[in-house]
Amino acid sequence: MSEFLIVGGGVIGLLVARELAAAGAKVMLVEQGSCCRESSWAGGGIVSPLYPWRYSPAVTALASHAQQAYPRLAAHLLDETGIDPELEHSGLLMLNAKDEEEALLWAATNCKALYPVEPAFIYDREAALAAGFRKGLWMPDIANIRNPRLGRALQSSLQSNPLVQIREQTQVLALQTNIDRGRGARRVTHVSVVREGVVERLCAEHVIITAGAWSGGLLATLNVTLPVVPVKGQMLLFRPPRRLLDTIVLTDGRYLIPRRDNHLLVGSTLEHTAFDKSTTEEALHGLRRSAEALLPELAECRVERQWAGLRPGAPDGVPFIGRVPGIDNVYVNAGQYRNGLVLAPASAQLLVDIVLRREPCVDPNPYDPVSRNVVG
């Protein structure tokens, strides 16, 4: 029997497994498909919230912690696995942001590098941008990470760790509980999983739900109401014949992300269409229009690929991290919404701090399902 059973092998589940194993715990991770093929694969990999001052201090706290952790994590993963997650310190240029005063106040309060910039700076840095941008905000420290590679590196590293077992194509159907009479507490006794039509029971001392947009549905099998809902995001990929951009550029909620090999990602839509992951012509045209309005040369390039993913949406984008109310041995780490890649290392560390009763890396209260009235 494992000490910990983790449900969901996105970036959050894989990092929780890594953190637990680093503390010497025995872990089994169960993934219904293949690891890191859902939101963690579909995302853009900007290692910052977009317009970070618009988020609550709880998001800033996790993001700041994680931004410091990423360079070491990326270097260790490359060392351990030979897979480079390509953490690129490309900087983030926000054009025509309307709330400059709030941005500057947030930057001063949180000691972040964020500067107002003029056209001379903008076009000196990015000559291929469309003409006419008059002002911007520049965050030089922001990076982007190639999230599919991050996923592969994490999985590869865990697969060579004797403390960790990963079971893919294995779906958790339900969590069964009973009352521990001695302690009067409700506990999960086992978890029912299905693989290739065969149902099996798995046991663990503790269960950790890191099932992204599916976390609410899983916890509903325990009569726990977790307000995490799927929010679809569509993206496009271009492969221009030459390097057009070095910086992440953002305007009116739409962004371009340059990868090391000159690929350019364009994101993204925000759609409430339940668990539908289909792509649409409307999003293709809308995203393409936004991309060409930033970089006119893209009009000459064809779209290489379009895809969609399901973000785990939580109220105000603040994830739920901690023990599930009313059940002794179940924890959750879900609801990172648009920021799951940037928040992942800190979210994982905080959860493991809570589970192992270590000094928490950030104040755990804003994320605590109990104090946020998750109903169990």
Ligand X SMILES: Cc1cc2nc3c(=O)[nH]c(=O)nc-3n(C[C@H](O)[C@H](O)[C@H](O)COP(=O)(O)OP(=O)(O)OC[C@H]3O[C@@H](n4cnc5c(N)ncnc54)[C@H](O)[C@@H]3O)c2cc1C
User: Token pair for residue 193?
Assistant: 């999983």
| Binding flag, residue 311, ligand X (CB under 6 A) | yes
Task: Give min distance, CB of 39 to ligand X, in A.
Answer: 3
Task: Pick one of 338, 354, 361, 369: the residue that binds ligand X (CB under 6 A).
Answer: 338
Q: Closer to ligand X by CB, 95 or 287: give it.
A: 287
Helices within 112-227 (DSSP H only): 119-125, 147-159, 215-220
210 binds ligand X (CB under 6 A): yes
Number of residues in contact with ligand X under rule CB under 6 A: 42
**Residues 6 or more apart from 312 whose CB is under 8 A from it?**
39, 212, 213, 215, 228, 229, 230, 231, 319, 334, 335, 336, 337, 340
Q: Under the criterion CB under 6 A, does residue 158 sit at the interface with ligand X?
A: no
Q: Is 59 in the site for ligand X (CB under 6 A)?
A: no
Segment contacting ligand X by CB under 6 A, of 5-13, 99-107, 183-191, 281-289: 5-13
Near ligand X by CB under 6 A, which window of 52-60, 74-82, 102-110, 204-212? 204-212
- Near ligand X by CB under 6 A: residue from 93, 228, 264, 334: 334
Q: How far is the CB of 286 from ligand X (least distance, A)?
A: 13
Q: Which of 2, 5, 6, 12 binds ligand X (CB under 6 A)?
A: 12
Rule CB under 6 A: is residue 345 a binding residue for ligand X? no
Residue among 5, 6, 8, 250 that touches ligand X (CB under 6 A): 8
Nearest to 347 by CA among 14, 4, 115, 50: 14
10 within 8 A of 18, measured Cβ to Cβ: no
Classified as helix, coil or strand, 251 is strand
* 315 part of the interface to ligand X, by CB under 6 A: no
Distance of CA 325 to the CA centre of its chain: 24
Residue selected from 6, 25, 40, 157 as contacting ligand X according to rule CB under 6 A: 40
* 2-7: strand order across its sheet: 164-167, 27-30, 2-7, 204-209, 330-334, 320-323
Nearest distance in Å: CB 80, ligand X: 20
Q: What are phi and psi of 137, to 5 degrees?
A: -120, 135
Q: What token pair was written down for 98?
A: 């309307």
CA end-to-end span of the chain: 26
Task: Verify binding: residue 251, ligand X, rule CB under 6 A.
Answer: no
Shortest Cβ distance from residue 262 to ligand X (Å)?
19
Of 332, 370, 296, 24, residue with least CA distance to 164: 24
Cα torsion through 124, 125, 126, 132, rounded to 10? -50
Among 129, 218, 226, 266, binds ligand X (CB under 6 A): 218
Interface residues with ligand X (CB under 6 A) are: 7-13, 30-33, 38-40, 42-46, 171-172, 210-214, 218, 233, 235, 267-268, 309, 311-312, 334, 336-342
